[in-house]
Amino acid sequence: MKKKLLKTQFALCIENGDCEDIEKRKFYQILPDEEAAREGYLRVVDESQEDYLYPESYFVFIQLPRKAQEAFVAAE
């Protein structure tokens, strides 16, 4: 699980553009997607537990403590 945690990123939603699948002031797991990033999007595991693209401007990257990261990954 350590390798998976090292590649896992998290972000805080600061805007949702009226999307019902993401909530402001909530943390989300971000999956790597270089092509989406070049276009200004992030691949986000949203409330449906599926990953979708959302504008990068909706999020602020954060560093969660290891125990919090483990809780996110274990919930998968």
Examine the pLDDT at 1 and tell me if it is beyond 70.
no
pLDDT for 17: 92
Burial 22-52 (b: 16+ CB within 10 A, else e): beeeeebbbeeeeebeeeebbbbbbeeeebe
The tens digit of pLDDT for each residue in 39-60 reads: 999 999 988 889 999 999 999 9
> Taking the model in full, what pTM does it have?
0.80
pLDDT for 20: 87
DSSP annotation of 14: -
pLDDT for 76: 60
Supply angle C-alpha 43, 24, 27, rounded to 5.
55
pLDDT for 23: 94
Dist CA 33 CA 62 (whole Å): 17
Structure tokens belonging to residue 36: 């989406």
